[in-house]
Amino acid sequence: MTTVFHNPRCSKSRAAVELLISRGIEFDVVEYLETPPSAKELGKIVKMLNIDPAQLVRTGEKLFKEMNLGDRELSDAQWIAILASNPTLIERPIVVYDGKAAVGRPLENIVEILDQ
């Protein structure tokens, strides 16, 4: 099953959806701001991405600054909890495809997992 964690207001996210459509790939859309992934789901996504949870954080968001997250040392579990509670901070779009995941910044990251 293919899933896109999507924000329809984001051009990169819309481009990811268009890419999957153009390739004829069926997928589920999760508008993650409306239906945030759980901490458990985020943990799985981070493992598929092969990154630290902190690398999934949108550091340019106003909320990131308001929460003083740049000045704090947090564990992986703490980052995941913060992302689950504050989905605006989750980098987008995320495509999960065939047991792999990619953040679509740049879009070529998604192409790479589709072509493997």
**Residue type for 112, please?**
E
* CA proximity to 93, closest of 38, 39, 32: 32
> Is 80 considered catalytic here?
no
Which of the following is catalytic: 3, 4, 9, 10?
10
Q: HEC profile for 2-17? A: CEEEECCCCHHHHHHH
- Catalytic amino acids? 10
